[in-house]
Structure 1
Amino acid sequence: MWIRIVPAAAWLAFQVGAILYARFVPARYYCWAPFDMQTEYTAEVTAGGRKLTAAEIRERYRRPARGVDNRSVQHVIDMFQQAEERYHKSDPARITIRYTINGHRHGEWNWPPAK
């Protein structure tokens, strides 16, 4: 009987711990309700000394320059940041994302981060 109870209790404890952890981090990827935010954003990108057009931003990041995402703002930021870190090391860009969360909280994110 203990052979069943111990793994089940460990699995349940892991799930509770993961849920509690996810509620307090910005990405919120593993929350039970991760879609509780509406993030409106506008991205401005400068690469090669010139400002990219909306079409060039979509091609570079596979995201529109202006849009709405029903997840955490960190999800949008992660997508732009990961594209720069993985695919554009030889052609770095300066990114500014201005966002509004649920129509109230405003913010701005910049890449590369200030040193």
Structure 2
Amino acid sequence: MPSKYRNYFMAAEIARAFDVPVDKIEAVAGKKVYLNQIGDIREAVLSVHSKWIGNGFTVDECNRLMGFKADNIDPLRVFEGITITLDPDTGEGIVPLDDVIHGYNIYKYQYDNGYWD
């Protein structure tokens, strides 16, 4: 993966996904949230602990991270065909972290690493 594609999200990106002020994320994680920290940051900031979500994203979090509008969900159809699991405790859809990263690279950098090829 080229160096501009990274193993972290910026605090502002996670704040957008979690729909909280960026200073709440920065107070816990600093400016960067590494991929293996997402679940811990969710628990610390949102008080949500789920053994099912882990470091993935709920569908709503993924939509906010990508900046999808309510009437224009996934305009590039990047997420068509992925498997969304349901958290049996809450019924929320969970998007696996690998799928989130793949989609984010396409939307943010117009880079497709061939993840599904």
TM-score range, shorter chain: under 0.3
What TM-score comes out, normalization by structure 2 length? Answer: 0.26
Q: Which has the higher strand share?
A: 1
What TM-score comes out, normalization by structure 1 length? Answer: 0.26
